[in-house]
Structure 1
């Protein structure tokens, strides 16, 4: 063999870069065995750029379908294996598993900031979502969670409820069209806790129907935001309820 000749890499060498933990199929099988544990996936995605890319392209999507198959199927239409979702799969996964906490705003003042935290299970409902849409926007599909209850802060005796949700196809939604037609300005200093893009205040837009407070079991003190990608989050003061509503067939606990 001359000095200018180089050996061709064998098939074993070609496949070695995707062996073991870097093999996408192996990773999927590992996380299926782990029942798509969110903490393990977060740690895996932070190991290297390559694992982060694989997680972003494959693993986060699979986790979302595992956690909430009916809800995610309705959001995407399940048109193909390469389907995309507004804001990306990591942002939707965070929304499914993470209560974003609450900080004081001009329309919803609180005495102290509440940090975000992981939650064990959350019921998301498109029936609840309809309660957050004005009559002109009832054709939109919006999933909203039950409030994550937090102890009272300051002089308030009511619990603080923090809720979150997501629109299907927000760019084509009536809600977005209504915000644009009303020339509602995006918030200057507030960013979506799930995808970090700018948000609209639905309180400032005067697009909060009375049915929202009734659905939440609130005394009317509430606010929520919608980001450019269709992620939805807010807070309210909860009053004690004498009875709980029965779960609808369209609801999903995740």
Structure 2
């Protein structure tokens, strides 16, 4: 009986070795062009597959979608890691977190989060969100995802971003020096960590609301302890062609699309 059980277990291990082999899984997802929908479903199958996804697959997906952006994020990161993990960065690439009322941004109804097919992240946009004393930091911010509110209201823009090497950034040092308290009722929608309100910290520069096509005092954004940014604003019509050259090439960031087509800058 014991020998039979031993043989049965060894057979189970052999049958699982293929589906849990990281190299095989990488090849499988490469053949599917790193479809994030499929990867989400696979990561929910078992704890072992979730561990492989967190350790390898989400990283490879991020690299395939935004190679230049990911390269910049990990260039100064210890051991090539990103704050909050690769699964959090992948979620930030593909998920608009929606909008709820906060202390400095009031809305009549909650806007649910949703999957987005494509997003454009730019470090030029990111610099607009940095106070002058923090211009040495590297921050990528997406174009706002526009949500219609009604015929008599402005649309709401929902945007998100990520810092490179946030633990060593001037922004974090400034927040710590000013003894800004972490928000009690807001969490990062990407990694679940606690956040600072940049509006409450008075670190929102005029360039941020001008960049968004909003008005002063009509926006709020948060930064979590892992360096993820998310926020909302009331929008007026906006054109952001200034980061593209005459041929439509993105000059300083990556367009992250679900189909894997990334427009690289010149």
Instruction: Please give the TM-score of this superposition, normalised by the length of structure 2.
Output: 0.86
Q: Is the aligned partner of 1:209 residue 2:211?
A: no
Aligned residue for 2:117? Answer: 120
Contact 1:86 1:230 in 2 (8 A): yes
Alignment partner, residue 231 of structure 1: 228
State the SS of the aligned residue for 1:19: helix
Alpha-carbon shift at residue 132 of structure 1 (Å): 0.5
* Structure label with greater radius of gyration: 1
Q: What's the CA shift string for 1:98-142, capped at 9, x where partnerless? A: 001010111000010000011111110001100000111000000
Residue 155 of structure 2 is aligned to residue 159 of structure 1 = yes
Per-residue CA deviations over 1:9-55 (Å, capped at 9, x if unaligned) read 8xx96971553322211111110011111110000000001101111
Correspondence list, 1:1-254, <5 A: 16=14, 18-77=16-75, 83-153=80-150, 155-156=152-153, 158-220=154-216, 221-241=218-238, 244-247=241-244, 248-254=250-256
8 A Cα contact 1:110 1:153, kept in partner: no
Deviations 1:191-212 (A, max 9, x none): 0000001000000000000000
Kindly state the Cα deviation for residue 245 of structure 1 after the two structures are TM-superposed.
Answer: 3.1
Cα distance in 2 for residues equivalent to 1:50 and 1:145: 33
Q: Distance in 1 between matches of 2:28 and 2:64?
A: 14
Task: Give the number of aligned pairs.
Answer: 248
More helix by share: 2
SS in 1 for 2:118: coil
CA distances 1:172-194 after superposition (whole Å, capped 9, x unpaired): 10000000000000000110000
In 2, distance between residues paired with 1:15 and 1:160? 52
SS in 2 for 1:239: coil
CA distance, structure 2, for counterparts of residue 178 and residue 225 of structure 1: 14
Structure 1 residues 250 and 48: alpha-carbon distance in aligned structure 2, compared to 1, 3 A threshold: same
Which residues of structure 1 form unaligned runs of 5+? none
Inter-partner Cα distance in structure 1 for 2:147 and 2:83: 29
Instruction: Kindly provide the CA deviation profile for residues 59-84 of structure 1, in whole angstroms up to 9, marking residues without a partner as x.
Output: 0100110111100010001889x621
User: Cα RMSD between the aligned structures?
Assistant: 2.5
Higher RCO (CA-CA < 8 Å; seq separation 6+): 2
Q: Distance in 1 between matches of 2:25 and 2:67?
A: 20
1:140-174 Cα distance to aligned partner (Å, 9 max, x none): 00000000011025852x11100000000111100
Contact (CA 8 Å) 2:163, 2:227: kept in 1 or not?
Answer: yes
> For residues 4 and 117 of structure 1, do their structure 2 counterparts lie closer, same or farther at Cα, with a shift above 3 Å needed?
closer
Tell whether the 8 Å contact from 1:223 to 1:236 is kept in structure 2 after alignment: yes
Gaps of 5+ in 2: 245-249, 257-266
